[in-house]
Structure 1
Amino acid sequence: MSSVSSANGLAIDGLVSGLKTTDLINSLMSVEGVPQTLLKNKLTDTNAFISSLQTMNSLVQTLATKATDAAKATSLDVFGATSSSTGVTVTTSTGASVGSVGFIVGSTAAAHTGVTAAKSTWADAAGPITIVGADGKQTTVTPSSGSLDDAVSAINKAGAGVSATKVAAGTAADGTKLYRVQFTATKTGADGAFEVYRGTGADVTAGTASNVLGETGAAVVTQGRDASVTLWAGTAAAQTVTSATNTFSDLLPGVSVTVTQPTTDPVTVSVSQDATKAQAVASGLVDALNAVASYFSSNTAVTSTVSPTNGTTTTKAGTLTGDATTRDVMQRLTSTMSQPVNGKSPSSIGIVITKDGDFTFDADAFQKALSTDPQGTQAMLSAVAANVGAAASTASDKYTGSITTSITGQQSVAKDLTTQIDSWTDRLTARRATLQAQYSALETSLSKLQSQSSWLAGQLATQSS
């Protein structure tokens, strides 16, 4: 016989009685805990229901977003651009429209660059260095010494729009290592041009400062320049447009042109409506609704499984089966997507409802409608999308949406269930302690009775002798 101690108290296994008290208590607690088990099962089901509602809500919100975009009066105004030259690339953005323009690329943008003569030190001692920009702005720095490294460091920290780099330039006759300092403007374009002087700003103004890039052996490697294109070249209307970078963002509205090399022949940039992108707007709306419908269908389906061991059939309903809120949302979305606009069916622009209530997108029908009646196609799509968007927003609004409200309600249910489960945990803990105390007292009483019995037996034996 034995006794077992636990963190929750003393569990006695029949020290005197021979009963398996731990097993008895566990059996009793199993019965006592049935209400809590039922609550836990209900909480699990509630959390699964909440998760399904949240997923459904997220899908409907995505549909609402796509519908809002598609409902815009310009949702099909998506354009693509082409260039007749590999040296010119073009992209479109908001505001683009159909059109074309021709031009000749005169030059590409370059950053002003210069190098000093080969030298081993910048100067014999620390002295001021003044950088003068194309706009005349002067920036003066004084290195901590006359070394090349200190001069380079001081210039790079000056914030004058110029970077400096020390570059190996061989060795002098006496074996001393020589270097050149390369100066490069931090931005391309003529406005990035600069000059470097030995001396203060006052010395530069007075004309007594020494131009570093004008010294013997120094040179301006690249003159800072703008990119340029000439529109309508060879005509009386010829016009040259410049850019500090190789990108021109104002040749056509909503069109960005980037040049990489000069051209001698005219380059033509053309902008036209991108039928593929326009189709994606309409088909994306259908895809978003089908995603909602597919999730709802899979989570309202009733499935049956047969046990391979005993052949028993188990039936399980989806987490959204019987939920009136999501069922009503699906009915509204389906109805608005298929609703005629001014007596005309959405199928006229490729939005087709099947006999099963699903939607498909007919790309050929859409492209035909877009090419023959672009304005009518836009109006139809905008109207359908507006209807669908309104229904989707009513269901998924983060404050007042019907699905959102249902989620909030179920979360309150889950919170209440959790509180009840916690309360039952405390109650069952107390009940277990009570049972352990009762059985411990039983063993103690039996032990006393056993001791008394032994004493009496001893007394009787003494009397008999």
Structure 2
Amino acid sequence: MGMSIGGIASGLKTAEIIEGLMQLEAVPQTYLKQKQSSTNNFVTALQALNAKVSSLADNAKNLTTADAFSKWTTTVSSNHASATASTSASTTDLTFKVNHLAQGRSALTSKVADAQTLVTDGKFTFTTGTQDTDSFKEWSIDVAEDATLSDIADAITKGNSGLRASVITTGDGSRLQLTNTKTGVAAGQFEITSGDGSVTLQNLKDAQDAEIELWPGMGLADSIVTSSSNTFTDLAGGVSLTVAKVHAADDEPTSLTVNQDTAAITKLASNLVSQVGQVLSEISSRSSITTTGTGSNTKTTGGLFTGDAQARLLTSQISNALSYPVDGKSPSVIGIDIQKDGTFVFDEAKFTEALTADPEGTQAFLTELGSRVEAVASAASDKYEGSITKRIESQQTLSSEYSKQIEDWDRRLKLREESLKATYTAMEVALSKMQGTMSQLSGQLSQLANLNSSS
């Protein structure tokens, strides 16, 4: 690059002149940068919209699944038990009493004179569960010759058999207290199978199943139900009951009620309307026109989606999906209304009333609305073929093209600036030489004049 000498000879402000010329030369690049900036802003807006539309599609699709409305509440009238309901539950009204809680065997050994009396061939062995059942298993623990009773107890407890052991020491000796954390008549059993036979077990509590009596007082033959754990799975179909306390003889029976969770289903409808509102609001806010200034200085600015055909089409499609009748009935019959400004409102009381009066019909109505909204939202937001997704990709490609063009202009402007600097530098050098020549000529002419005057 040539070096500019800044108008030393010409007196011109060459640096400022070059800067001004470069600004003119850069006008096309400045325009490209503005276009790229607006394109990137548009992409960001589309991505934000796409995220909301995708979320709407997912939630609307949930309304079309088989278990969408299989939501249930359980009520237990006392602290003797608690209950949960799965999607396969149904309306239930049941009374019961808890006769027994499930427990594993707990036993105390006789006094243990020496830990080795429990060991055979360097091993302490025991079984859990009941023979001839799937719960039966044999266990073996290696025991050192100098192991203490506490060492054996620790090894038992740290194992994964479910058996827990502790050493109980009294004034006349030590005993092991053993408890099976697995419950039920079968799984809750255990036996020590090693040792010299001098140590015996005395039960503190027997292994037993949990037991409840349904419809107490009626004396029905099939009213007794047992479980190896304190949870009765799929009681009444899809309902699991966990017992926690035995009923005393004079306690009132506990009632279990299972009803459809109307609040949860109402929330599904409310969420659909709310998410549709979020999408429409996103489009509306980015389509609004703002006016600033007054009089001749008034300036009107449109939003990123102002005049955008795709945004208008999506607004129309989603609004139609939620507002058009189903089997000749307006969505307003289940509490979904469209306002004059195109927004939707949800009337919870009206929906609950419709759900109570006609559960199946109301659910089918909501499913149809969800299906229509999901179809529109998925077509727009699908991560591969969605119309918004495709639009984002095309705009990102356009932004990349702008980047390439801007880079080309960077190179072009750099060469142009170097050319201008070289031209002005050459001009300054030429002017400087001319000024030097003129100075010499002036000197020579002055000498000639002096000679002539002296002669």
Match of 1:418 in 2: 403
C-alpha distance in 1, partners of 2:287/2:45?
Answer: 10
C-alpha distance in 2, partners of 1:13/1:194?
Answer: 102
* 1:298 maps to 2:285: yes
Deviation at 1:82, TM superposition (A): 0.7
Aligned with residue 331 of structure 2, among 341, 346, 351: 346
Deviation at 1:106, TM superposition (A): 2.0
Deviation at 1:20, TM superposition (A): 5.6
After superposition, give the CA deviation of every residue in 1:350-390 in whole Å (9 maximum; x if it has no partner): 11122222211122322222222223222322222222222
C-alpha distance in 2, partners of 1:363/1:281?
Answer: 11
Deviation at 1:227, TM superposition (A): 2.8
Aligned with residue 58 of structure 2, among 54, 61, 65: 65
Aligned with residue 191 of structure 2, among 175, 178, 195: 195
Aligned with residue 133 of structure 1, among 114, 128, 139: 128
Aligned with residue 45 of structure 1, among 38, 45, 52: 38
* Mapping 1:80-159, distance limit 5 Å: 80-110=73-103, 112=105, 122=115, 127-135=122-130, 136-143=136-143, 146-148=146-148, 151=152, 154-155=155-156, 158-159=159-160
Deviation at 1:36, TM superposition (A): 2.2
Counterpart AA for 2:90: S
Deviation at 1:446, TM superposition (A): 6.6
Q: 1:347 to 1:447 in 2, by over 3 A?
A: same
| Contact 1:248–1:256 under 8 Å retained in 2 | yes
Q: 1:127 to 1:389 in 2, by over 3 A?
A: same
After superposition, give the CA deviation of every residue in 1:246-301 in whole Å (9 maximum; x if it has no partner): 32221122222222211233211111122222211222221121111111111100
| Contact 2:168–2:175 under 8 Å retained in 1 | yes
Deviation at 1:65, TM superposition (A): 2.3
C-alpha distance in 1, partners of 2:290/2:175?
Answer: 80
The answer for unaligned runs of 5 or more in structure 1 is 1-8, 200-207
TM-score, normalization by structure 1: 0.78
Match of 2:258 in 1: 271
C-alpha distance in 1, partners of 2:27/2:50?
Answer: 34
Deviation at 1:84, TM superposition (A): 1.1
C-alpha distance in 1, partners of 2:144/2:428?
Answer: 93
| Contact 2:163–2:180 under 8 Å retained in 1 | yes
C-alpha distance in 1, partners of 2:345/2:394?
Answer: 35
C-alpha distance in 2, partners of 1:155/1:457?
Answer: 119
C-alpha distance in 2, partners of 1:168/1:12?
Answer: 100
C-alpha distance in 2, partners of 1:89/1:187?
Answer: 21
Deviation at 1:325, TM superposition (A): 1.0
Q: Which moved more, 1:58-67 or 1:431-440?
A: 431-440
Counterpart AA for 2:382: D
C-alpha distance in 2, partners of 1:260/1:55?
Answer: 50
* Mapping 1:349-428, distance limit 5 Å: 349-428=334-413
Match of 2:232 in 1: 248
| Contact 1:141–1:154 under 8 Å retained in 2 | yes
| Contact 2:168–2:174 under 8 Å retained in 1 | yes
After superposition, give the CA deviation of every residue in 1:185-236 in whole Å (9 maximum; x if it has no partner): 454444143334555xxxxxxxx4565x73xxxx766555443322233412
The DSSP-based 3-state class of the residue aligned with 1:146 is coil
* 1:326 maps to 2:322: no
* Mapping 1:443-454, distance limit 5 Å: none
C-alpha distance in 1, partners of 2:235/2:254?
Answer: 13
C-alpha distance in 1, partners of 2:43/2:241?
Answer: 51
Counterpart AA for 1:248: F
Q: 1:437 to 1:109 in 2, by over 3 A?
A: farther
C-alpha distance in 1, partners of 2:403/2:175?
Answer: 76
Q: 1:345 to 1:453 in 2, by over 3 A?
A: same
C-alpha distance in 2, partners of 1:384/1:46?
Answer: 35
TM-align CA RMSD: 4.0
After superposition, give the CA deviation of every residue in 1:427-460 in whole Å (9 maximum; x if it has no partner): 3344444445555666666777788888999999
Q: 1:441 to 1:371 in 2, by over 3 A?
A: same
Counterpart AA for 1:281: L
C-alpha distance in 1, partners of 2:303/2:263?
Answer: 38
C-alpha distance in 2, partners of 1:188/1:462?
Answer: 130
Q: Which moved more, 1:83-92 or 1:234-243?
A: 234-243
Match of 2:272 in 1: 285
| Contact 1:226–1:245 under 8 Å retained in 2 | yes
Q: 1:164 to 1:441 in 2, by over 3 A?
A: farther
| Contact 1:127–1:146 under 8 Å retained in 2 | no
After superposition, give the CA deviation of every residue in 1:171-197 in whole Å (9 maximum; x if it has no partner): x89xxxx99876554544441433345
| Contact 1:351–1:361 under 8 Å retained in 2 | yes
Match of 1:230 in 2: 213
The DSSP-based 3-state class of the residue aligned with 1:286 is helix
| Contact 1:108–1:227 under 8 Å retained in 2 | yes
* Mapping 1:147-226, distance limit 5 Å: 147-148=147-148, 151=152, 154-155=155-156, 158-163=159-164, 185=180, 187-190=182-185, 191-196=187-192, 198-199=194-195, 208=196, 211=199, 214=201, 223-226=206-209
C-alpha distance in 2, partners of 1:256/1:337?
Answer: 38
Match of 2:244 in 1: 260
The DSSP-based 3-state class of the residue aligned with 1:71 is coil
The DSSP-based 3-state class of the residue aligned with 2:90 is coil
C-alpha distance in 2, partners of 1:118/1:45?
Answer: 88
Deviation at 1:12, TM superposition (A): 5.1
The answer for unaligned runs of 5 or more in structure 2 is 131-135
Q: 1:426 to 1:87 in 2, by over 3 A?
A: farther
Deviation at 1:154, TM superposition (A): 4.3
Aligned with residue 78 of structure 1, among 59, 71, 84: 71
Q: Share of identical aligned residues, percent?
A: 38
Q: 1:127 to 1:458 in 2, by over 3 A?
A: farther
The DSSP-based 3-state class of the residue aligned with 1:60 is helix
| Contact 2:7–2:14 under 8 Å retained in 1 | no
The DSSP-based 3-state class of the residue aligned with 2:384 is coil
